[in-house]
Amino acid sequence: MKPRALVFDAYGTLFDVHSVVVRAGSTIPGDLHALSILWRRKQLEYTWLRSLMERYEDFWNVTEAALRSAVAQLKIEASERQLDGLMQAFLTPSAFPDVKPALDALKGVPLAILSNGSPRMLESMVGGSGLASSFAEVISVDRVKIYKPSPRVYALAPEVLNVPREDIFFVSSNSWDVAGARAFGFKVCWCNRSQGNMEHLGFSADVTVSHLGEIAGYL
Ligand code: LAC
């Protein structure tokens, strides 16, 4: 496979969303693991619902609404200050440990990010991780004001990178994002970090790896 560009999903693929509650939730009473899982679940649900409703709000607002929904559902008593602490920490989730060496091994092919994140969130996260120089482009869904897996989102990558979709290798750990990207026409790598099952949506990955370091072996 000789792709002309590699495009990465951000949250869950390069950056660990669950690092946020671990780092900023320690003073919050309750089941923090459950909070982190439900927060992420709600965040994604709201992106899908808002896309269907045609009522886009950026990922920062969606993320805050999802947090408030999750704490209410779990009956967690968190103060405004504690919620704000979690939101601020969401601006700089930790990169997974395999990211930097994997990106370094992929030098030579243009790399980009295509993410639901708002431009401010992506700038803060990528800048804060010291990875900004690895990427030729960081592309936010905010340009088209709808969320993944809308094909309008995936279409941003060929447009911005000026590379045909079939020459793009898209990498995601989110199985539903893999299906969406494959349906659009990318070659797709599923980085199956959590050894989960593929969605039954009729589209599966071209390549499945368990960590990002394996990708270089397929190029
Ligand atoms: C993103 C979501 C899918 O980064 O995690 O686009």
pLDDT digits 0-9 by tens, 84-111: 999 999 999 999 999 999 999 998 899 9
Q: List the catalytic residues.
A: 9
Query: Is there an atom of ligand 1 within 6 Å of 174 CB?
Result: yes
> Based on the domain organization, do 128 and 41 belong to the same domain?
no
> Based on the domain organization, do 110 and 139 belong to the same domain?
yes
Residue type, 59: F
pLDDT, residue 107, reads: 86
Contact 81, 108 (CB under 8 A): no
**What's the predicted TM-score (pTM) here?**
0.97
- Ligand 1 centroid–CA 41 distance in Å is 12
> Based on the domain organization, do 105 and 167 belong to the same domain?
yes
> Based on the domain organization, do 120 and 65 belong to the same domain?
no
Tokens of 131: 């990875």
> Based on the domain organization, do 109 and 179 belong to the same domain?
yes
Query: Is there an atom of ligand 1 within 6 Å of 117 CB?
Result: yes
> Based on the domain organization, do 78 and 153 belong to the same domain?
no
CA distance 157 to 7: 8
> Based on the domain organization, do 52 and 117 belong to the same domain?
no
- Ligand 1 centroid–CA 117 distance in Å is 7
> Based on the domain organization, do 147 and 214 belong to the same domain?
yes
Residues of the chain with pLDDT under 50: none
pLDDT, residue 109, reads: 95
**Which residue segment(s) compose the domain that 160 sits in?**
5-16+93-218
What b-and-e string marks burial along 144-179, b requiring 16 or more CB atoms within 10 Å of the CB? eebbbbbeebbebbbebbebebeebbbbbbbbbbbb
Query: Is there an atom of ligand 1 within 6 Å of 116 CB?
Result: yes
- Ligand 1 centroid–CA 180 distance in Å is 12
pLDDT, residue 172, reads: 98
Question: What is the count of structural domains for the chain?
Answer: 2
